[in-house]
Amino acid sequence: MSDQPIRILLIEDNPGDAELLEVMLGQVAGTPFALECADRLAGGIERLARGGIDLVMLDLTLPDSHGLDTFRKVKARAPSIPIVVMSGISDETIAIKAVHESAQDYLVKGQVTSQLLARGLRYALERKQGELALLRAMEAEQRARRELERAHEELKRTQAQLVQSAKLASLGQLVAGVAHEINNPLAFVANNIVVLERDLASLRDLVRLYQQTDATLAQHQPDTARAIHAAAEAMDLAYTLDNLDGILDRSHDGLKRIQQIVLDLRGFSRASLASDAQHGVDMNDSIASTLNIIRGVARDRDVTLETDFGPLPPGACYPARMNQVVLNLVTNAVEACSAGGKVVVRTRSAPDGALIDVIDNGAGIAPEIRDKIFDPFFTTKQHGEGTGLGLSISHGIVQDHGGRIDVESTPGQGSRFTVFLPAAGGVKGAVADADQTVPS
């Protein structure tokens, strides 16, 4: 820097003063200064616009500008170039004001020696360079802080994902265990019902045969006949015999429902335990199983859960993780609704992939938190009710699939979360076949 000449722009209308300054600068032995002159403010500003000037020496009284205004105009055009203002003895106070407004220094004409001038200019430059260096250091610090914040966010997200996948894995094991425990008694209850049905039919036939002997019995054993009549009346025999079929039918229905629930639980846990991507996954099937898991929660809250499935081409995805996304979105939607609310899960195929909409007519999302809902640990729910992880996890999972989640919401009217999954799939790593990854 020191062997480069300092390029000075002198804006001064008085040729005598300009010449004097030039001479004085020249007198400083080995002065590395290059001087350019402009005799109007307009000309000076034009020169500044072309760049390459290190320092401005500015006469405050020019034909096209006067006083502090002159300084302010130059400052506005070249905020990072140091300006040394020059004034006559009579307007020194204005020059001082300019210094208060960040001029680097001021000189009073007629009181300057070449040595003073050279030193003043160097100081001015050094001070300015110091200011610039400080500014740059502050900017660098700010950048570093932003980097750190980003890294911290990333870390929180990763941690949240880890926590969630660990939770999912243990939930999967738990669910698999429960499903297994229910499955055994369920199997023998189902078998017994079939046996009961057959035996009851035989018993009913037998009772009807006995009933044909009523008259004979009344003749020969009137006491027994009376006791039988009393017992038959007490239990409303006719009704009971008629009702048996209904009871058995309803028991079959109930059993079928329990079997479906167990099947869904097993499907969910199997998916939770298999972390591999799978080919040919029918997302509608997957979503239907997942919805069965939270149907009870929705019913308890008096929220209707509806589906509107469009045909989806079988795709590649991580089914366990996609189930989790659907579970998170639908849980949020149900939780956003008050009693009587409605949640619709809709699927559609798009030209380049599949769309899953989760639409609710619940509380909606206030615009001021709209940017935060995907942040890990952001929740508006009571302590113990919300972890603030659902959406951040879901976002990460959908991103892993090369897709995205969009949100539209009107406070007081409801929200719509739309998941887009690209057909090509961003599914990373080896993709296994759906049927082969199912653990026994």
Ligand X SMILES: Nc1ncnc2c1ncn2[C@@H]1O[C@H](COP(=O)(O)OP(=O)(O)O)[C@@H](O)[C@H]1O
- Tokens (6 digits) for 416: 């719509």
Q: From residue 314 to residue 353, what is the string marking binding to ligand X with x (rule CB under 6 A)?
A: --------------x---xx--x-----------------
Contact residue for ligand X among 32, 88, 120, 386 (CB under 6 A): 386
Residue whose pair of structure tokens reads 């992939």 in the numeric block:
353
CA–CA gap between residue 299 and residue 342 (Å, rounded)? 11
Selected binder of ligand X within 379, 400, 423, 431 (CB under 6 A): 379
Tokens at residue 175, please? 């669910």
Residue 95 or 303 having the CB closest to ligand X: 303
From residue 397 to residue 436, what is the string marking binding to ligand X with x (rule CB under 6 A)?
A: ------------------x---------------------
Q: Does the footprint of Mg ion cover residue 390 (CB under 5 A)?
A: yes
CA distance 12 to 217: 140
- Minimum distance between the CB of residue 385 and ligand X, rounded to whole angstroms? 7
Number of amino acids touching ligand X (CB under 6 A): 22
Q: How far apart are CA 332 and CA 326, in angstroms?
A: 10
**Which span (133-141, 300-308, 326-334, 417-425) binds Mg ion, by CB under 5 A?**
326-334
- The distance of closest approach from Cβ of residue 384 to Mg ion in the complex, given in angstroms and rounded to an integer, is 13
Q: Please, what is the Cα angle at 123 between 119 and 127, to 5 degrees?
A: 175
Positions in 189-248 near ligand X (CB under 6 A): none
- Binding ligand X (rule: CB under 6 A), the pick from 380, 422, 423, 438 is 380
Q: Label the pairing between strands 277-281 and 315-317.
A: antiparallel
Report whether 324 contacts 165 (CB < 8 A).
Answer: no
- Identify the residue whose tokens are 């989806």: 312
Buried b (16+ CB within 10 A) or exposed e, 87-116: bbeebeebbebbeeeebbbbbeeeeeebee
In terms of phi and psi (left: phi > 0; alpha: psi -120 to 50; beta: otherwise), the region of 331 is alpha
415 binds, among ligand X, Mg ion, none (CB under 5 to 8 A by kind): ligand X
Q: Is 381 in the site for ligand X (CB under 6 A)?
A: yes
Which of 74, 107, 354, 365: binder of ligand X (CB under 6 A)?
Answer: 365
Binding site for Mg ion (CB under 5 A): 332, 390
Binding site for ligand X (CB under 6 A): 328, 332-333, 336, 360, 362-365, 373, 378-381, 386-392, 415
